[in-house]
């Protein structure tokens, strides 16, 4: 059978066989405001179900990049696809949730009314139960009927997150989601990001704060003065990890076992093992079990943390460079 119908079906099959489009794809983004260049040649991809962090100091161009991705600011150059479509495509629009950096909701509306309004503006149909669920997700379950005018900044930010999530988007773009939150609130957002990831939702998160939330990111892109200064997975950017142990009764066999795990240094009963950057979850428990099996007394096991903050300062000091990958 030939003819237009067969060709149409063949084309549909070919499209279906292609790998699913990335959540975000952008290439060569440029933006100038009058004489100030804000973004200069930024390209990156966010895969489906991936949490990507766009990090960098104030004024690095993070918000400008996000606004270009969403079609809220016109790029001077560059291309963007969201969920495989142009950003202005209604299909993409309806499946992207967005928390803007600066926002104020109508203070006379209740939290539930704010959600209802946004859902209506987005042209989506969201049942009341889903609205309640999205408020519960951000810890505002019992505030649905309260006026937003009486909300603290942190509560308004939580509500903003609920607005970004309420229509069950495939991609969520969050501009500084934790700037108004206390450490507890940040931990909540981290858990929220993990639950989104578990549901296969892609997240692009933009932040000048380094902390727990950033540790949820599968990959980060570090912006500095409008350019990509570095990008990669956290292990790639942070390099080696180390494990600090306090041990008693270490014989030759235990020593050999420790050395097999990584380069070993010792100071009295304190042993430090340099572990590879990409670490299997089983490595540490297996090591501890083997040491115990070899008669070692294990007093303490502590993963060494190279902080992302230190690493970031490093990268920013050396400037956009060979770090780029």
Ligand X SMILES: Nc1ncnc2c1ncn2[C@@H]1O[C@H](COP(=O)(O)OP(=O)(O)O)[C@@H](O)[C@H]1O
H helices, E strands: number in the chain: 11, 13
CB of 277 closer than 8 Å to CB of 238 = yes
Nearer to Mg ion, 112 or 176 (CB): 176
- 3-state class of 253 per DSSP? helix
Shortest Cβ distance from residue 164 to Mg ion (Å)?
A: 16
Positions in 46-75 near ligand X (CB under 6 A): 56, 58-64
* Host H or E run for residue 147: none
Residue with tokens 């042993």: 271
Between β-strands 202-207 and 51-55, what pairing exists: parallel, antiparallel or unpaired?
parallel
Positions in 206-265 near ligand X (CB under 6 A): none
> Dmax over Cα atoms in the chain, in whole Å?
81
Nearer to ligand X, 33 or 91 (CB): 33
Residue 33 interacts with, from Mg ion, ligand X, none (CB under 5-8 Å by kind): ligand X
Residue 58 interacts with, from Mg ion, ligand X, none (CB under 5-8 Å by kind): ligand X
Q: How many residues bind ligand X (CB under 6 A)?
A: 11
The DSSP annotation for 280-314 comes to -TTHHHHHHHHHHHTT-EEEEEEEE---HHHHHHH
Shortest Cβ distance from residue 66 to Mg ion (Å)?
A: 8
What one-character DSSP code corresponds to residue 20? P
Dihedral of alpha carbons 94, 99, 102, 106, sign: positive
Nearer to Mg ion, 32 or 244 (CB): 32
Residue 56 interacts with, from Mg ion, ligand X, none (CB under 5-8 Å by kind): ligand X
Nearer to ligand X, 36 or 74 (CB): 36
Q: Decide if residue 103 touches ligand X (CB under 6 A).
A: no
Position among 13, 35, 36, 325 found at the interface with ligand X (CB under 6 A): 36
Nearer to Mg ion, 57 or 71 (CB): 57
CA distances from 249 to 20, 53, 170, 309 (A): 54, 44, 54, 37
Residue 61 interacts with, from Mg ion, ligand X, none (CB under 5-8 Å by kind): ligand X
**Sole window of 31-39, 97-105, 164-172, 213-221 interacting with Mg ion (rule: CB under 5 A):** 97-105
CB of 109 closer than 8 Å to CB of 147 = yes
Position among 22, 40, 60, 63 found at the interface with Mg ion (CB under 5 A): 63
Shortest Cβ distance from residue 174 to ligand X (Å)?
A: 12
CB of 69 closer than 8 Å to CB of 82 = yes
> Applying CB under 6 A, which residues contact ligand X?
33, 36, 38, 56, 58-64
């Amino acid at each position: 059978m030939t003819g237009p119908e067969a060709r149409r079906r063949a084309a549909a099959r070919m499209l279906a066989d292609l790998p699913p489009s990335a959540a975000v794809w952008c290439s060569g983004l440029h933006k100038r405001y009058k004489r100030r260049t804000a973004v200069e040649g930024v390209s990156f991809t966010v895969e489906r179900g991936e949490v990507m962090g766009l990090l960098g100091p104030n004024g690095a161009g993070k918000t400008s990049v996000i606004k270009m991705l969403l079609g809220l600011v016109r790029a001077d150059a560059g291309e963007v696809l969201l969920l495989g479509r142009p950003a202005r495509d209604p299909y993409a629009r309806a499946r992207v949730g967005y928390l803007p950096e600066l926002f104020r909701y109508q203070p006379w509306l209740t939290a539930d009314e704010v959600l209802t309004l946004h859902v209506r503006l987005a042209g989506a149909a969201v049942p009341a139960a889903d609205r309640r669920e999205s408020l519960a997700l951000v810890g505002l379950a019992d505030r649905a009927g309260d006026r937003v005018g009486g909300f603290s900044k942190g509560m308004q930010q939580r509500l903003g997150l609920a607005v970004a999530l309420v229509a069950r988007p495939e991609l969520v773009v969050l501009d500084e989601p934790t700037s108004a939150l206390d450490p507890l609130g940040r931990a909540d957002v981290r858990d929220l990001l993990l639950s989104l990831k578990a549901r296969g939702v892609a997240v692009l998160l933009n932040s000048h704060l380094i902390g727990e939330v950033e540790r949820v990111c599968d990959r980060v892109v570090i912006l500095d003065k409008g350019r990509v200064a570095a990008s990669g997975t956290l292990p790639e950017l942070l390099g080696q990890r180390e494990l600090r142990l306090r041990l008693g009764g270490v014989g030759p066999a235990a020593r050999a076992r420790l050395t097999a795990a990584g380069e070993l240094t010792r100071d009295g009963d304190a042993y430090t093992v340099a572990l590879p950057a990409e670490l299997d979850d089983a490595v540490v428990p297996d090591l501890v079990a083997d040491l115990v099996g070899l008669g070692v007394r294990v007093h303490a096991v502590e993963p060494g943390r190279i902080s992302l903050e230190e690493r970031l300062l490093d990268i920013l000091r050396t400037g956009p460079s060979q770090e780029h990958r």
